[in-house]
A and B are shown apart, each in its own frame.
Chain A
Amino acid sequence: MLDDFFVRALIAGTGVAIVAGPLGSFIVWRRLAYFGDTLAHSALLGVVLAFLFEINIALAVFIVSATVALVLLYLQRRGGLASDALLGILSHATLALGLVVLALMSQMPIDLMGLLFGDILAVSKIDIAVIYGGGALVLSLLILFWKSIFAATVSTELSQAEGMKPQLANVVFMLLVAMVIAISIKIIGVLLITALLIIPAAASRQISTGPEQMAVFASIIGVGAIVSGLYGSLAFDTPSGPTIVLAAVILFALSQLPFIRKFFHR
């Protein structure tokens, strides 16, 4: 069964969507969409470095994204520059660096379009193992730290005052986002990763009455987007990443219909 590229794509995409749901919900609650973009852009540099040093792509992407996240955290704490300015600087600095290094090593067989938009149809069995192994790790850590990450999301001050260690929660959260980006880069590509994090979560908001419910519904909607997007990509012969994102946008639009909201809020 795993010998069929389409089945591999479905399995890999489903794994990514399940993990992206809860993390994406936190990104939406914390208004960190631009932070997700920044980490995703830095992922390109990670991929290039992976080829340069011949290490696993997901591992290299995680190292670069995690470094960017920690640098951001340090610069924010130091103060002096607004967060969105810092994100803009880091995001484009790493993206530009990635593109320049990529151009310098022109003899390397790297498919730039695949990196930017994902190449879900070229998913290997090893990729699936990385996605499910890494995904299980991310979800376990998220469940373990759920209470303190959630409390820090509602109010850093409140959770600090009541002994919930929000600083630790924030570091763990940023590293989890870096891990999700690392495992999904191959499927969805640098430019569209944030879409898979944010759009299913935003769609889930309309039909949820609690944070945990929203996280689970976001995963389900994400899986829906992956499956319908992949079939759409096969049917219309379109690139898989953008087609998946469009499928997610359609699901989001559906979630905004008044009768759908009413149905879930009975």
Chain B
Amino acid sequence: MNTTPSPLVSLENAGYQIGNKWLVRGVSFSVSKGEIVTLIGPNGSGKSTTVRLALGIYSPVEGKIIKSTGLKVGYVPQKLAIDAMLPLRVNRLMQLSAALSSREIEDALSLTGVGHLAKSEVQSLSGGEFQRVLLARAIARNPELLVLDEPVQGVDFSGEIALYDLILEIRNQLNCGILLVSHDLHVVMAATDNVICLNGHICCRGTPQIVAESDEYLRLFGGGASNILARYEHNHDHTHLPDGTVRHGDGSITNRCHPEDSSHKIAGDEGKEPGNAG
């Protein structure tokens, strides 16, 4: 499916099930060196499940996950609670999974703008500071694949632009592949190579459109954001309604996405979702 020769990680028709409920199903995509892939989708659409599959935290119930051998991963989880009984300073947390020189710690922390916090107890950090420390920790080990689960969650708008700017800089410096999860359905990082919209399955996928092309977004966000943020135009052939039924492109309403499916599956074989060929 992907044009790049050897992806760092690729999911092939991957699905994960708890009890008899499929959290995600039929998910296929890959992340290659230097590539940025953004996963978007509403709450409960399986974004975090997909990330956990890609990371090997969950084993797929169906389909498969292929990782390049010896892949070095840096992971920034959505949340991380440090127990109050654990005395942990930032520079010790930095070395959680790899021994680093004090120089490497310093460099990574100052790259994410929290160099002054090296000796702080992690429990004393604010949400935004801790997020940047976690990002510094993930990049300090020079990962080939960087995975960020909702990094701009709870960050204000200018902070979001700054953080995306930083992620882009990290990609350019390390030339790593980046898998990014965002809860924002319409605004993504401009540098994203591939946007994947999930809703239990892949609804649509494609490249984002640069904000600068749209007057509306320019007015809303100002010129400064135009190089960093982009608009993503959804191309759904059906909509999931609140009561669990599905409204199709032709206006008809059924109980399932696709007549032949017992559950969520990509409809690529029907040719209804042109993005799936991407």
Contact = CB atoms under 8 A, between A and B. Distances in A.
Given A155-B80, A158-B77, A164 B88 contact: no
Interface string A26-43: 001111000000000000
B57 interface: yes
A142 B198 CA distance: 43
B92 A211 contact: yes
Given A155-B77, A160-B55, A29 B97 contact: no
B195 interface: no
A213 B87 contact: yes
A29 B86 CA distance: 6
A67 interface: no
A238 interface: no
Interface in B72-90: 72-75, 77, 80, 82-83, 85-89
Interface residues of B, number: 24
Interface in B113-128: 121
A154 B96 contact: yes
A177 interface: no
Interface string A146-157: 010011011101
A163 interface: yes
Contacts of B89: 209-210
A160 B77 contact: no
B77 A162 contact: no
A213 B141 CA distance: 24
B147 interface: yes
A80 to B, nearest CB: 10
Contacts of B52: 157
Given A31-B83, A151-B97, A208-B87, A162 B57 contact: no
Contacts of A31: 83
B92 A205 contact: no
A205 B121 CA distance: 13
Interface residues of A, number: 26
A161 B56 contact: yes
Interface string B142-159: 000001000000000000
B75 A150 contact: no
Interface in A17-62: 28-31
Interface in A174-220: 202, 205, 208-211, 213-214
A29 B75 contact: no
A159 interface: yes
Nearest to B143: A162
Interface centre among B75, B88, B97 (most CB of A within 10 A): B97
Nearest to A207: B87
A256 B77 CA distance: 34
Nearest to A205: B85
A209 B87 CA distance: 5
B174 to A, nearest CB: 16
Contacts of B72: 163
Interface in B47-87: 52, 55-57, 72-75, 77, 80, 82-83, 85-87
A158 B82 contact: no
A39 to B, nearest CB: 20
A144 to B, nearest CB: 15
Nearest to A159: B97
Nearest to B48: A157
A159 B98 CA distance: 11
Contact of A162 (B83, B86, B97): B97
B31 to A, nearest CB: 14
Contacts of B74: 162
A74 to B, nearest CB: 17
Interface centre among A31, A162, A213, A214 (most CB of B within 10 A): A162
Contacts of B80: 154-155, 158
Interface centre among A153, A155, A158, A159 (most CB of B within 10 A): A158
Given A154-B82, A157-B57, A158-B80, A163 B87 contact: no
A148 to B, nearest CB: 9
Contacts of B121: 209
12 contacts: A153-B86, A154-B82, A157-B52, A157-B55, A157-B57, A157-B75, A158-B97, A161-B77, A205-B87, A209-B87, A210-B89, A211-B92
Q: Lowest 9 CB-CB distances: which A-B pairs, in order?
A: A161-B75, A161-B55, A162-B97, A208-B87, A29-B86, A160-B57, A28-B85, A151-B96, A157-B57
Given A157-B75, A158-B96, A214-B86, 7 more contacts: A150-B96, A151-B96, A158-B80, A160-B55, A205-B85, A210-B87, A211-B92
